[in-house]
A and B are shown apart, each in its own frame.
Chain A
Amino acid sequence: MNAFLSWSILLAPITAAVLIGLFTKQNSKLSSKLSIGAIGFSFLMTLLLAAVNSGTPEIPVTSSVTWLEVGGLKVELGMIIDPLSMMMLLVVTGVGTAIHIFSLGYMKDDPSLGRYFGFLSLFTFSMLGIVLASNFFQMFIFWELVGVSSYLLIGFWFERKPAAAACQKAFIVNRLGDFGFLIGIILIWSITGSLDFGEISGAFTENPALLGASTAIAGLLIFCGVLGKSAQFPLHVWLPDAMEGPTPVSALIHAATMVAAGVYLLCRTLFLFELPTSWPEDFAWLNGVSSLHIVALIGAITSIMAALIATRQDDIKRILAYSTLSQLGYMVMAVGLGGAAAGMFHLTTHAFFKALLFLGAGSVIYAAHHEQDIWKLGGLRKKMPVTFWTFLIGTLALCGAPPFSGFYSKEEVLLAAYQSNVVLFVLAAITAVLTTFYMFRLVFVAFGGSAKSESADHAHESPSVMTTPLVFLAVLSVVGGWLGIGGYFGHFFDHGAVHHGHHENQTVVMFIGIGAIIFGFFPAFFMYHGAESDPLKKGLGGIGEFLKNRMLIDEAYQWFISRTHEALARLADWIDRWILAGFLVKGIQFTGEFTGRALRLAQTGNTQTYALLFGLGLAVALFVILL
């Protein structure tokens, strides 16, 4: 039963994608029905799976197929159904269904709607594959498939140059992360002889020192994959650019699913990070630092950096993109500090309210004829009431205002930081202030005041096919904290239970969290309520420009790449053209007594001569070898 259910959850979307790709691409209606039907079916099956297994904490791993077996390399396609993957399944299929339906309205005039839904289904399949994967190799396969389907979705409007550039960047940056990930997988396999999560963690329980000096390195290599998919510093650069894709795509991959895959991988392979850390001799200076410390630090850096940049962005989707980066940093930091339950809890609530915010932004963009600059919107509160109120709910949830879902999950994250590391906690609290600031800046400028452009003036509420998913996600954003998701994860990761003991800490953190909202809200109110232009532009001067230009990180990469790979490529190309293909012919001749004549002949540019001399030269070389 479980086997059947979990396989049908996984295979429904790919069936739809294949059918659309082969037969119904030209037929928008049928394609969209197939795609929505498939994810709806997966959602129902997930609910059924959850219902059948409610009350059983450990759901047995279902059947598996041997996909590849050569010598010591055995790859199975298996299924893991446990609380961790169960909740992810619910998020991916549930939020995914809402986004699929929203797309029906948002994309209805696009001539390639069939292709769009085909890609959506392909993406859903790949994402579900990551969630269900029972071993590293299977994880990597679906990891790559998620990469390519997001490439296709970001570049959906490929005839626009920025979209074509953005999808390429997303794919290549993700590949940089996968580089470490794959080496990590090979390393772990070469030592443990297995790829299976269960077998490997079992082997570690027996012998925690199995990986020897590579323990920390192996963990960090796997973490490279997380850096790419979950867009952590320094591989975060692809996510803001990826906003060139259709807005529902941003909601699906850049809020609820793909970017969550990294955090999910981190939690799935937590057994690797919890091993006693040891470093090779060359890294002896790192002794005492565990791989989880580095994970937490990267998460904290990402969250504060992205929050700072978000305060100076003017594009509604880019603000949300940087906000997503910042919240992903929170989750990674929480896992790094031993609060995996907090991280996963925040991942779940974040999927609700960030998908809601992106879809709300989509509704605004749809109504304002693809105007995305918040300084050209304004006055939408009255014109689009449903969008406004749901967007406000999403904003409050993101800021962590009680009693919205974000309040509970963010508090857990802050608590994890508070109990482990004061510096990271202070950074996280500042991030919380900034979050409230930039989100209310967005709300005041885009929804408040008066319309600042003609397209905003003509805006009106979106059709119900778009507002219904908004309301659905708004409800989840409100009640998400009360459903016991935090406790659900807490039971799964042993650590969760420990934190709940400290009531004092909890109260302190709660007050600091609410304080952060107040400190963020009032500056935003005074600066942006009814504002016509951005007072920060002059106020911050050079720093403001620095933030607006995304801290110049993209430029730094450009510079670095053109100095390394581009230079190597130019060199290789030059050698190929002038030495291997051309000059080598001359070079070999220096040994012979015909040097003078040969050089003069060679300079005639007669290609036959080149070739002949080359042949003679190699014959000489052959003769030498034979001797």
Chain B
Amino acid sequence: MSVLTTIIMLPLIGALTLLFVPSRHKTVVRMIACSVTFLSMLLAALTFFEFNASDGAGYRNEQITPWVESLGIQYHVGVDGINIALMLMAAVVGYSATLVAKSITTRSKEFHVLLLIMIGGVLGAFASLDLFFFYFFHELALIPTFIMIGFWGRGENRNYITFKVTLYLSLGALIALVGLVMLYVKAGAGSFDIVEITKAVQANPISLADQNMIFPLLLFGFGILVSLWPFHTWAPMGYGAAPTATAMVHAGALKKFGLYGLIRIALPILPDAAAYWAHIIAWLCLGNLLYCGWVAMRQKNLNLVIGNSSVAHMGFVFLGISSLSLIGVTGAITVMVAHGFLAALTFGLTGYLADRGKSLELDQMGGILKSMPAIGSFLVLALMAGCGLPGFANFVGEAMVLFGSWSSFSMITIFGVWAGLVIGAVYMLRALRRALHGPLASNYEGVADASGIGAKAPYLILIVFLTLFGVFPRMLTDKISPAVESSLDLMKSTTSLTVAEKLNTDSADQTSEAPLAAESNSRGNLAESPQLESTQG
């Protein structure tokens, strides 16, 4: 049995065990939940740090157990540099969220059961190399999310918001499902195994017409799950209403599922459509970067500022993916990991305040940094990381995205720099000033700070990882970039020549904006560094 299976099963077995623990034993419930997520995190960290990219390409820690052989469904897990980083992030976020879940008082056992199922589901989705299980694990994580928001959520609009979030996310998942099923059919591999399908389409690519039909389904299906503009409106209010731990796991880890799906499935299997749709993704990502940034500037509630900024940050990931370059995609994955830690951190901290019954309306906040130095300084760190400060992993990822997408989309990159450096700073610092600086708001008098290592631990773990990868980014990128490189190589070798020629004539007048047109023409390396292109041009 692969260590990955253990990592996934630990929270799920924990959830199962909890069912047999009487609800009144709250301490036992907490102990079980915390220890399974802790062990899961520990194993994920060990696997991550043991992972050596120089051992060669391909998946590690694989396990294949056939299930429905007639349909080609099998339990297949395995990691390369991309998903081991995501699994580490998800496991850390899961543990941190479990620690924070201490504040749940009503029906605490049921909450913990659902939370553990959610964490197990996220981990499973990232580890799966079989489309069926990939999707199954995501649904396994998604359904508890709805229940938790509806039952333990906060705010007057809770029911409406639960409904809206459920509708959006189910719809997104449904569209993606249609796309995945079509992919399964058109690939003709008779297997749900991602590795098998990738091999099959390499020998026998899916026709351009089919690719162009499947790709948008995956793009918008996954896009809705990741709050791609203009399908983002569920996210800020959803996170505002969700219980703290749920918001942490969803915004941090589960939301990255859609992006991971795009990178793992859509790019290598549908390379021509990906090149074709890259422009559209790049323009849509401006909606996230600029538009959602502006929306964040106008928010009067701290959670909505953070929620919208979280949507805005997804723009960097989309921009990196649309660049289809080694630097850009590696940057996108780095942002995914960094944003996972960061989103969990910020929602954990605002949740700390909200769980104490305090309003997050900015005009009722103020001076928290003085009265609550620990929570206040964590929040300062989180907001600073959010506006792209060096020293945090987000900076590394965002910088790579911007460097990587320059040669494909220079104009959009300029907007991206503006969004990252200026708009991000404006809304983050405004929120910081109103919530943390100034005289202490009467509403916040007598709110206890997090004291003792136990209360600070959930936030400290996340900060440690954010800074560790921010100061030593190669711990992350040296694992990610070889995997991205082989994925892009795969994409390149799958591109059919006729398609490349068609693309080239279609966009001959805008070669500067068509990343693949110029390159696929010369059958050049997708991952080439941009200076080579510019000397050619």
Q: Does A418 make an interface contact (CB < 8 A)?
A: no
Please determine whether B167 and A615 come into contact, CB atoms closer than 8 angstroms: yes
What per-residue 1/0 map shows which CB atoms of B391-412 lie under 8 Å from chain A? Answer: 1000110011011101100000
Q: Does B284 make an interface contact (CB < 8 A)?
A: no
Nearest CB of B to A623, in Å: 11
Return chain B residues, CB-CB under 8 Å to A161.
437-439
In the complex the two chains form, what is the Cα distance from A247 to B162 in whole Å? 52
Nearest CB to that of A186 among chain B residues?
B406
Please determine whether B529 and A618 come into contact, CB atoms closer than 8 angstroms: no
Q: Does B41 make an interface contact (CB < 8 A)?
A: no
Please determine whether A70 and B327 come into contact, CB atoms closer than 8 angstroms: yes
Q: Does B367 make an interface contact (CB < 8 A)?
A: yes
Nearest CB of B to A121, in Å: 15
A572-B295, A576-B295 known; A158-B437 Cβ under 8 A: yes
Return chain B residues, CB-CB under 8 Å to A615.
167, 171
Q: Does B325 make an interface contact (CB < 8 A)?
A: yes
A-B pairs with CB below 8 Å: how many? 163
Return chain A residues, CB-CB under 8 Å to B514.
none
What per-residue 1/0 map shows which CB atoms of A39-73 lie under 8 Å from chain B? Answer: 00000000000000000000000000011111111
What per-residue 1/0 map shows which CB atoms of A564-578 lie under 8 Å from chain B? Answer: 011011111101100
Please determine whether A573 and B295 come into contact, CB atoms closer than 8 angstroms: yes
How many residues belonging to A are interface residues under a CB distance threshold of 8 Å?
A: 59
Q: Does B474 make an interface contact (CB < 8 A)?
A: yes
Please determine whether A148 and B389 come into contact, CB atoms closer than 8 angstroms: yes
- B residues 66-92 near A (Cβ < 8 Å) are none
Please determine whether A191 and B164 come into contact, CB atoms closer than 8 angstroms: no
In the complex the two chains form, what is the Cα distance from A490 to B481 in whole Å? 46
Partner of B327, one of A73, A140, A163: A73
How many residues belonging to B are interface residues under a CB distance threshold of 8 Å?
A: 73
Nearest CB of B to A70, in Å: 5
Q: Does B297 make an interface contact (CB < 8 A)?
A: yes
In the complex the two chains form, what is the Cα distance from A144 to B367 in whole Å? 25
Please determine whether B421 and A159 come into contact, CB atoms closer than 8 angstroms: no
Please determine whether A68 and B327 come into contact, CB atoms closer than 8 angstroms: no
Q: Does B49 make an interface contact (CB < 8 A)?
A: no
Q: Does B384 make an interface contact (CB < 8 A)?
A: yes
A67-B473, A161-B438, A175-B425 known; A569-B297 Cβ under 8 A: yes
What per-residue 1/0 map shows which CB atoms of A78-91 lie under 8 Å from chain B? Answer: 00000000000000
Please determine whether A608 and B163 come into contact, CB atoms closer than 8 angstroms: yes
Please determine whether B330 and A70 come into contact, CB atoms closer than 8 angstroms: yes
Q: Does B430 make an interface contact (CB < 8 A)?
A: yes
Nearest CB of B to A69, in Å: 7
In the complex the two chains form, what is the Cα distance from A165 to B437 in whole Å? 9
- B residues 178-233 near A (Cβ < 8 Å) are 178, 213, 216-217, 230, 232-233
Nearest CB to that of A576 among chain B residues?
B295
Nearest CB of A to B283, in Å: 16
In the complex the two chains form, what is the Cα distance from A565 to B418 in whole Å? 12
Return chain B residues, CB-CB under 8 Å to A9.
none
Please determine whether B534 and A190 come into contact, CB atoms closer than 8 angstroms: yes
Return chain B residues, CB-CB under 8 Å to A497.
none
In the complex the two chains form, what is the Cα distance from A607 to B167 in whole Å? 12
Q: Does B254 make an interface contact (CB < 8 A)?
A: no
In the complex the two chains form, what is the Cα distance from A140 to B438 in whole Å? 31
In the complex the two chains form, what is the Cα distance from A182 to B418 in whole Å? 10
Return chain B residues, CB-CB under 8 Å to A573.
294-295, 298-299
Partner of B433, one of A164, A580, A607: A164
Nearest CB of B to A434, in Å: 34
Please determine whether A622 and B438 come into contact, CB atoms closer than 8 angstroms: no
Partner of B369, one of A158, A568, A576, A608: A158
Please determine whether B295 and A71 come into contact, CB atoms closer than 8 angstroms: no
6 A-B pairs within 8 Å (CB atoms) are namely A73-B529, A145-B391, A183-B417, A186-B413, A573-B294, A625-B216
Q: Across the A-B interface, give the 7 residue pairs with the lowest CB-CB distance, nearest first.
A: A72-B529, A193-B531, A164-B437, A572-B294, A573-B298, A569-B294, A71-B326
Interface residues of A (CB under 8 A from B): 66-73, 137, 140-142, 144-145, 148, 155, 158-159, 161, 163-165, 168, 171-172, 175-176, 178-179, 182-183, 186-187, 189-193, 565-566, 568-573, 575-576, 580-581, 607-608, 611, 614-615, 618, 622, 625-626
